[in-house]
């Protein structure tokens, strides 16, 4: 039976390929570039704005005191990134399903997949709560400074509502992104960023509420866009893809859970990589300065990473849409176009940060010691930015094609069997301190990028089209808009 389906799909793929218009390269490039930027530009701005909430909080906390800065850096870079990685990773399974279903014109399935993802991610978030409740003893057990660990435990409790906000945020973003309807997310993010800056200043500078004021503003900043996104989805903004709440969301959850777990493993291994870098640094000499400097560098690196994540989103959506549509040729071309554009922008930024060095550090701290350490780390920061221009695009291709399980194994090998051991040896044995640790981490990322590039270049994209369309048909539910089990 499945062989007959595959044979039928193969003929459909060939028909799509034969039916594609032959256009000159310039026109083809222009058309693909427009499609890419329709997804990438709003995604970048949204990522900038969303990450800006964390950076703004970081900046205000940094001016409260060095102990608070180190604690917030530890919690946001390690604990929040840990939960963030799990939830974003698991939500990326929704990206694969929605993108391929939308390309195959099975629009009604997007709403069902969205609700299934809500169920899976809400349960997962609840299971993560002990990490936030017992942050202080966990950090002490990992060898962190006692004062920093105590302050971090207080901050982590404030971040529990933030973690739950990721459930609605990531799923709605990926649901809308698959349909190229992410402009609404951009508008909401821009408004939220302006509110967060004003409220943070009011609560931490004007009224001197300290950490409490900074955290209240942060929670509101994460939840306000979610309310807007949910209203847009449910109140007519997605008539084709949102048919109302349905009991079908509880059906066939296991395949969604498996794909979500694979996706979670893939992205978590990437997110935790930098978190381990911070933990290792916490055991070095002069930990407060080292953690403060490293957190500033990682924040600057993460700002630039928002550009790359925009290209990741574009690669994922374009690849999944074209695979769902049945066009291997268009999928290949979209990968080439997105990767080239991202690398050119990354190279320009590499040169910029290489010469800028540590001047940006004073946006985050008043400490000359921390600023001096940031200047020493600047060449590594510049090289990390260059690496960011390719690796996320390849990860986006993997998510769009549904290769999450394969990439998870690649990440384990490159990051944890290569990058971290090399970093520990350079940092501790060769006494290079935080520089050595970071060099090892960059080396692991380089190896991972090379492996993913080889996999992408050697892929049979016609076979990937068949796999994508089989996935869409296997999980297809008949569209019954007027079914009694659904309510508007």
Q: What is the mean pLDDT of the chain?
A: 83
Neighbours of 355 (CB within 10 A): 9
| Boundaries of domain holding 381 | 1-475
What is d(CA 28, CA 20) in angstroms, rounded to the nearest whole number? 11
Residue 471's Cα: distance from chain center in Å?
Answer: 24
Q: Does pLDDT of 131 surpass 50?
A: yes
Give, to the nearest 10 degrees, the angle between helix 328-356 and helix 25-62.
40
- pTM of model > 0.85: no
What is d(CA 480, CA 483) in angstroms, rounded to the nearest whole number? 5
Question: Does residue 480 lie within any of the structural domains?
Answer: no
Give the lowest-confidence range in 46-55, 119-128, 177-186, 273-282: 273-282
Q: Does pLDDT of 484 surpass 50?
A: no
Q: Does pLDDT of 264 surpass 80?
A: no
Q: Does pLDDT of 179 surpass 70?
A: yes
Q: What is the pLDDT of residue 132?
A: 92
Q: What is the pLDDT of residue 432?
A: 81
Contact 465, 471 (CB under 8 A): no
- Per the structure block, which two tokens stand in for 113? 């997949």
Question: Does residue 482 lie within any of the structural domains?
Answer: no
What is d(CA 287, CA 151) in angstroms, rounded to the nearest whole number? 15
| Average pLDDT for 8-23 | 52
Contact 293, 434 (CB under 8 A): yes
Question: Does residue 484 lie within any of the structural domains?
Answer: no
Give the lowest-confidence range in 32-46, 318-332, 366-380: 366-380
Q: Does pLDDT of 458 surpass 90?
A: yes
Give the lowest-confidence range in 156-165, 219-228, 434-443: 434-443
Confidence of residue 485 (pLDDT cuts 50, 70, 90): very low
| Average pLDDT for 414-431 | 87
Question: Does residue 20 lie within any of the structural domains?
Answer: yes
| Number of domains, the chain | 1
Q: Does pLDDT of 483 surpass 60?
A: no
Contact 319, 334 (CB under 8 A): yes
Question: Does residue 486 lie within any of the structural domains?
Answer: no
Confidence of residue 438 (pLDDT cuts 50, 70, 90): confident
Please report, for residues 54, 77, 192, the alpha-carbon distance to residue 223 in angstroms, rounded to integers and kept in the order given.
13, 20, 9
Q: What is the pLDDT of residue 18?
A: 47
Question: Does residue 485 lie within any of the structural domains?
Answer: no
133-137, 302-306, 363-367, 375-379 — which one is most confidently predicted on average?
A: 133-137
Confidence of residue 277 (pLDDT cuts 50, 70, 90): low
| Average pLDDT for 295-308 | 79
Q: Does pLDDT of 7 surpass 60?
A: no
Q: What is the pLDDT of residue 316?
A: 92
220-232 as b/e: b if 16+ CB within 10 A: ebbbbbbebbeeb
Looking at the chain, the whole-number percentage of residues with pLDDT higher than 70 is 87
The residue that leads in pLDDT, 183 or 347, is 347
- At residue 247, what are phi and psi to the nearest 5 degrees? -70, -15
- At residue 365, what are phi and psi to the nearest 5 degrees? -155, 155
- Per the structure block, which two tokens stand in for 7? 């044979």
Task: Looking at 128-286, list the stretches that DSSP marks H as alpha helix, in order from N- to C-terminal side.
Answer: 129-133, 135-141, 146-158, 160-177, 183-200, 210-232, 253-281
Q: Which residues contact 230 (CB under 8 A, 6 or more apart)?
A: 168, 172
Q: Which residues contact 90 (CB under 8 A, 6 or more apart)?
A: 117, 120, 121, 124, 260, 261, 263, 264
Work out the burial of residue 264: count CB atoms within 10 Å of its CB; fewer than 13 is exposed, 13-18 middle, 19 or more buried.
Answer: buried
- Per the structure block, which two tokens stand in for 133? 């409740």
Give the lowest-confidence range in 181-195, 247-261, 442-456: 247-261
Question: Does residue 94 lie within any of the structural domains?
Answer: yes
What is d(CA 47, CA 168) in angstroms, rounded to the nearest whole number? 15
Confidence of residue 261 (pLDDT cuts 50, 70, 90): confident
Q: What is the pLDDT of residue 371?
A: 77
Given the structure tokens 């909401």, which residue do they identify? 188
Question: Does residue 106 lie within any of the structural domains?
Answer: yes
| Average pLDDT for 40-67 | 83
Contact 13, 462 (CB under 8 A): yes
Per-residue HEC secondary structure of 89-152 comes to HHHHHHHHHHHHHHHCCCCHHHHHHHHHHHHHHHHHHHHCHHHHHCHHHHHHHCCCCHHHHHHH
Give the lowest-confidence range in 2-16, 79-93, 354-368: 2-16
The residue that leads in pLDDT, 281 or 429, is 429
- At residue 366, what are phi and psi to the nearest 5 degrees? -105, 0
Q: How many residues does the chain have?
A: 488
Q: Does pLDDT of 487 surpass 50?
A: no
């Amino acid at each position: 039976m499945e062989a007959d389906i595959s044979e039928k799909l193969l003929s459909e793929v060939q028909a799509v390929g034969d039916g594609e218009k032959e256009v000159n390269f310039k026109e083809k490039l222009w058309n693909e570039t427009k499609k890419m930027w329709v997804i990438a530009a709003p995604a970048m701005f949204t990522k900038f704005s969303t990450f800006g909430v964390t950076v703004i909080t970081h900046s205000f906390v940094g001016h409260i005191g060095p102990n608070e800065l180190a604690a917030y850096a530890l919690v946001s870079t390690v604990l929040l990134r840990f939960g963030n990685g799990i939830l974003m990773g698991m939500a990326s399974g929704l990206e694969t399903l929605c993108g391929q279903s939308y390309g195959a014109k099975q629009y009604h399935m997007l709403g069902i997949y969205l609700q299934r993802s809500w169920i899976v991610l809400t349960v997962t978030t609840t299971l993560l709560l002990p990490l936030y409740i017992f942050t202080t003893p966990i950090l002490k057990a990992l060898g962190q400074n006692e004062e920093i660990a105590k302050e971090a435990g207080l901050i982590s409790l404030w971040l529990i509502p933030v973690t739950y906000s990721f459930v609605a945020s990531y799923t709605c973003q990926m649901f809308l992104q698959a349909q190229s309807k992410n402009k609404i997310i951009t508008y909401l993010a821009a408004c939220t960023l302006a509110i967060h800056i004003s409220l943070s200043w009011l609560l931490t500078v004007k009224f001197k509420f300290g950490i409490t004021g900074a955290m209240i503003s942060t929670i509101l900043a994460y939840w306000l866009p979610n309310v807007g996104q949910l209203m847009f989805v449910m109140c007519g903004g997605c008539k084709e893809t949102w048919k109302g709440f349905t009991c079908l969301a509880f059906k066939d959850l296991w395949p969604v859970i498996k794909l979500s777990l694979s996706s979670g493993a893939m992205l978590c291994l990437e997110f935790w990589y930098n978190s381990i870098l911070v933990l290792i640094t916490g055991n070095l000499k002069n930990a407060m300065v080292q953690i403060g400097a490293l957190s500033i560098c990682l924040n600057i690196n993460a700002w630039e990473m928002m550009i790359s994540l925009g290209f990741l989103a574009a690669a994922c959506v374009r690849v999944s849409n074209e695979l769902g549509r049945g066009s291997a040729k268009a999928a290949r071309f979209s990968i080439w176009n997105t990767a080239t554009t991202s690398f050119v922008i990354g190279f320009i930024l590499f040169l910029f940060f290489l010469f800028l060095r540590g001047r940006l550090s004073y946006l985050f701290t008043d400490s000359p010691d921390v600023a001096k350490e940031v200047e020493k780390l600047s060449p590594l920061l510049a090289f990390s930015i260059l690496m960011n221009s390719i690796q996320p695009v390849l990860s986006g291709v993997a998510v769009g094609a549904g290769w999450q399980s394969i990439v998870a194994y690649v990440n384990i090998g490159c990051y944890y069997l290569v990058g971290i051991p090399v970093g520990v040896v350079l940092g501790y044995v060769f006494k290079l301190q935080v520089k050595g640790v970071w060099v090892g981490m960059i080396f692991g990322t380089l190896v991972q990028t090379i492996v993913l590039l080889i996999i992408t270049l050697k892929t049979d994209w016609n076979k990937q089209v068949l796999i994508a369309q089989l996935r869409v048909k296997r999980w297809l539910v008949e569209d019954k808009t007027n079914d009694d089990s659904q309510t508007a």
